[in-house]
Amino acid sequence: MADLLAERVAAPPAPRHMADAMPDSPSPPVTPWAISLDRLTRRFARGNTLALDDVSVSVREGEVFGIVGRSGAGKSTLIRCVNLLERPDAGRVTVLGQDLLALDDAGLRAARRGIGMVFQHFNLHSRRTVAENVAFPLEVAGLPAAERRARVAEILPLVGLEGKRDAYPAQLSGGQKQRVGIARALASRPRILLCDEATSALDPETTREILALIRDLRAKLDLTVLLITHEMAVVKAICDRVAVMEAGRVIEHGPVFSVFTRPEHPTTRSFVAEVIGHGVPASTLARLPAPRPGERRRLAQVVFTGPNSTRAVVSEASRDFGLDINIVSGRVDDIAGEPFGVMALAAYGPDGAIDAAFGWMRDLGLTVTEIAP
Amino acid sequence: MSWLAPALQDLLVEALWDTALMVGASAAIAVIIGLPIALLLHATAPGGLAPNAWLNRPLGLVVNATRSTPFIILMVAIVPFTRLVAGTSIGTGAAIVPLALAATAFLARLFENALREVDPGVIEAARAMGATRMQIVAKVLVPEALPGLVAATTVALVSLVGFSAMAGAVGGGGLGDLGIRFGYQRFMPEVMATVVVILIVFVQALQSLGDWLVRRLSHR
């Protein structure tokens, strides 16, 4: 239940995890939901595992929503519920206002044509050329050959494959295969694109290219994108909002920037640490000077966000609180278009002065987390 | 073939023709009947396009029972059926009936395996694109499995050449029969050797043709 309520208030600027404060009748969202998964439960007979345990996720029209989790977290089952490749045991699946579980076979097939899907292993027909692969959904929909050809000619340049139309998948690189997968998914002009670990089989460079392509196509074609991944870097690169899944439940979700800068759940923290680093390595700690007699040495990770992210916080703190501050590590990054800095520092001085300095930093809106020395 | 008497040479040509006819006709029948059976087995299997244990298990049982019956026994066991279909139980035409039956069961299993080799991801992608089950069979399953289906047919053709040697038991003629009657029973090793060499060349040609076709069809 908590997931459901929390999701309903996920629309910005509402804060995350307000489940307790939410009334039962939420006001309608400003932007309509493109995808609304409501209290989905799915139990697999084999091993009697609960792949989805009362999961609710809603995706707004036009956004890129990421679901991140380790393997076995249930994210794959969840995304497959959006086009009912997997049928939930309980819950409601609404896509573009249509209740999919209420549709008959023909209705579901029609709905599926409005939802493009891209797969981790591309799932291309080995005996069809690039053009024939891209034309497949149009063939299935019963479009005449001339229209199919016209649409294929239109879409191949969008994914940068105009020169490969007569190649077979075996002649393409992984990145090119995924471009074919994307072109095929978008051939029937869907408004929704599902990406099932679309970059997990690709190298980092190709991953960047494919993510840039998806971002680009989202803007050009007014797509809503739901993607699942086990890589936080993918979320950071492309998503507007993110949900973190573990053991069949959504454990945390919200705008990517706030999840990155203020992760609450330990699992989320470890995901975030993959991208922004894990504090201070032990070898570096060992080399730090020891505190002078009567002084303390305390380490802290400071996350800079918002208007104070560019302020000379370290020199101000050093001067005003009479501390020696050693910057152990630091980096500036850009998450969802917002500047974001993370720094590990060692403060030397009396306990009281360090407390006061950290308090002052917190008042400025920085996140200060002390690291065990 | 001057080492064989002209009469024997004529017999040899006739036998080659009988073998080709028996193998060709029974293989054609086996492909036509075996493919739908294989599709049915594949579709009704657990996790298939239309899982149905009530259809899958009995069908699988019949296929297995046919396959496990030794061909020489199958041939005499179904004589009433052969008479019904071919009008007689003796001769080349009559031999085609049990050959086709054995080959159908054999091919149905081989075809089913070839269908199972199709990447389930491609089928899932087709489902996600709103394809009907018939479209999935016609546009994904069979085309993607085609190289495997051709390879299976090649295997069946080669096996049929071997089975057809037993057709002599019902007066079916053919190379195997000639080898037994002349080479073995009349102590004419030159006939036996010729028959064996022709069979080797025959099988080799079938295999090469099949391999070439598979290479042409697959784009992996």
CB contact under 8 A, B220 and A170: yes
Residue B83 pLDDT exceeds 70: yes
- Supply the ipTM of this predicted assembly: 0.89
Question: Is any Cβ of chain B less than 8 angstroms from the Cβ of A126?
Answer: yes
Q: How would residue B218 be classed by pLDDT, with cut points 50, 70 and 90?
A: very high
Q: Which residues of A touch B121 (CB under 8 A)?
A: 119, 121-123
Determine the residue among A100, A124, A125 to mutate to test chain B binding: the one whose Cβ has the most chain B Cβ atoms within 10 Å: A125
Report CB contact under 8 Å: A140, B129: yes
- CA-nearest residue of chain A to B145? A127
Confidence at A340, pLDDT banded by 50, 70, 90 = confident
B85 within some domain: yes
pLDDT number for residue A10: 39
Whether the predicted pLDDT of B80 surpasses 50: yes
Which residue has better confidence, A1 or A253? A253
Q: For residue A297, list its beta bridge partners.
A: A348
Using pLDDT thresholds of 50, 70 and 90, give the confidence band for residue B7. confident
Flag whether B151 is in a domain: yes
pLDDT in tens, A288-322: 888 888 888 999 888 887 776 667 888 888 999 99
Cβ <8 Å between A112 and B143: no
Among the partner residues B124, B130, B146, nearest to A113 by beta-carbon distance: B130
Which pLDDT tens digit goes with each residue over A56-100?
A: 999 999 999 999 999 889 999 999 999 999 999 999 999 999 999
Is residue B54 in a domain? yes
Tell me whether residues B144 and A85 touch, CB distance under 8 A.
no
Q: Do B131 and A121 touch (CB under 8 A)?
A: no
Tell me how close the Cα of A134 comes to any Cα of chain B, in angstroms.
11
- Whether B195 and B176 have beta carbons less than 8 Å apart is answered as yes
User: CB contact, 8 Å: A107 with chain B?
Assistant: no
Residues of chain B in contact with residue A127, where contact means CB-CB under 8 angstroms, are 143-144, 146-147, 217-219
Q: Give the pLDDT of residue A45.
A: 80
Helix B142-164 to helix B189-217 angle (10° resolution) is 180
Is residue A88 less than 8 Å (CB to CB) from chain B?
no
Taking the C-alpha atoms of residue A174 and residue A179, their distance in angstroms, rounded to an integer, is: 9
Rg of chain B in Å (alpha carbons): 20
Cross-chain Cβ contact B127/A110 below 8 Å = no
Residue A127, pLDDT above cutoff 90 = yes
Q: How confident is the model at residue A21 (pLDDT cuts 50, 70, 90)?
A: very low
CATH number of the domain residue B57 falls in:
1.10.3720.10
User: How many CB pairs below 8 A link A and B?
Assistant: 72
- Summarize pLDDT for A179-217 with one digit per residue, the tens: 999 999 999 999 999 999 999 999 999 999 999 999 999
A125 closest CB neighbour out of B122, B128, B135 = B122
Mean pLDDT of chain A: 87
Query: Using CB atoms, which residue from B124, B125, B219 is nearest to A126?
Result: B219
Task: Measure CB to CB from residue B219 to each of A111, A123, A168 and give the nearest one.
Answer: A168
Residue of A nearest to B216 (CA): A127
Q: Between A119, A136, A194, which is nearest B121 by CB?
A: A119
Tell me which chain B residues have a C-beta less than 8 angstroms from the C-beta of A169.
219
User: Are B129 and A124 a contacting pair at CB < 8 A?
Assistant: no
Question: Residue A171 half-sphere exposure, CB side, CA atoms within 13 Å?
Answer: 13
**Per CB distance under 8 Å, which residues of B are interface residues toward A?**
119, 121-122, 124-132, 135, 139-140, 143-144, 146-147, 217-220
Q: Say yes or no for a CB contact (<8 Å) between B219 and A170.
A: yes
Q: Is the per-residue pLDDT at B165 higher than 90?
A: no
Q: Say if B46 falls within a structural domain.
A: yes
Given an 8 Å threshold on Cβ–Cβ distance, is B128 in contact with A121?
no
Q: Is A137 in Cβ contact with B129 (below 8 Å)?
A: yes
Does A311 touch chain B if contact means CB atoms closer than 8 Å?
A: no
A14 touches B: beta carbon within 8 Å: no
| Partners of residue A95 on adjacent β-strands | A35, A98
Residue from A100, A104, A109 to probe the interface with B (highest B Cβ count within 10 Å): A109
pLDDT score at B44: 96
* Residue-wise pLDDT tens digits, A252-294: 999 998 898 888 899 998 888 888 766 677 788 788 888 888 8
B119 within domain boundaries: yes
Query: Within a domain: residue B72?
Result: yes
- Determine the structural domain holding residue B123 and report its residue range: 22-172
CB-based contact, A45 to chain B, within 8 Å: no
Give the number of domains in chain B. Answer: 1
Residue A331 is predicted with a pLDDT of 81
Average pLDDT value for residue range B4-21: 91
Q: For the whole model, what pTM was predicted?
A: 0.85
Is residue A146 pLDDT above 90, yes or no?
Answer: yes
A141 pLDDT higher than 60: yes
Q: Which residue has the tokens 């680093």?
A: A277
Q: Indicate whether B43 belongs to any domain.
A: yes
Name which of A107, A110, A111 is nearest A95 in CA terms: A111
Residue A9, pLDDT above cutoff 90: no
Taking an 8 Å cut-off on Cβ atoms, the answer to whether B122 and A124 are in contact is: yes
Say which of A85, A121, A128 has its CB closest to residue B128.
A85
Q: What is the 3-state secondary structure (H, E, C) of chain A?
A: CHHHHHHHCCCCCCCCCCHHHCCCCCCCCCCCEEEEEEEEEEEECHHHEEEEEEEEEEEECCCEEEEECCCCCCHHHHHHHHCCCCCCCEEEEEECCEEHHHCCHHHHHHHHHCEEEEECCCCCCCCCCHHHHHHHHHHHCCCCHHHHHHHHHHHCHHHCCHHHCCCCHHHCCHHHHHHHHHHHHHCCCCCEEEEECCCCCCCHHHHHHHHHHHHHHHHHHCCEEEEEECCHHHHHHHCCEEEEEECCEEEEEEEHHHHHHCCCCHHHHHHHHHHHCCCCCHHHHHHCCCCCCCCEEEEEEEEECHHHHHCCHHHHHHHHHCCEEEEEEEEEEEECCEEEEEEEEEEEECHHHHHHHHHHHHHCCCEEEEECC
Q: What's residue B1's pLDDT? A: 62
**Exposure string (b/e) for A87-107, b if CB count within 10 Å is 16 or more?**
ebeebebbbbeeebeebeeee
Checking if the pLDDT of A30 tops 60, the result is no
pLDDT at A336: 73
> B131: which chain A residues are within 8 Å (Cβ-Cβ)?
109, 140
Domains of chain A in sequence order: 26-114+190-275 (3.40.50.300), 281-371 (3.30.70.260)
pLDDT band, residue A18 (cuts 50/70/90):
very low
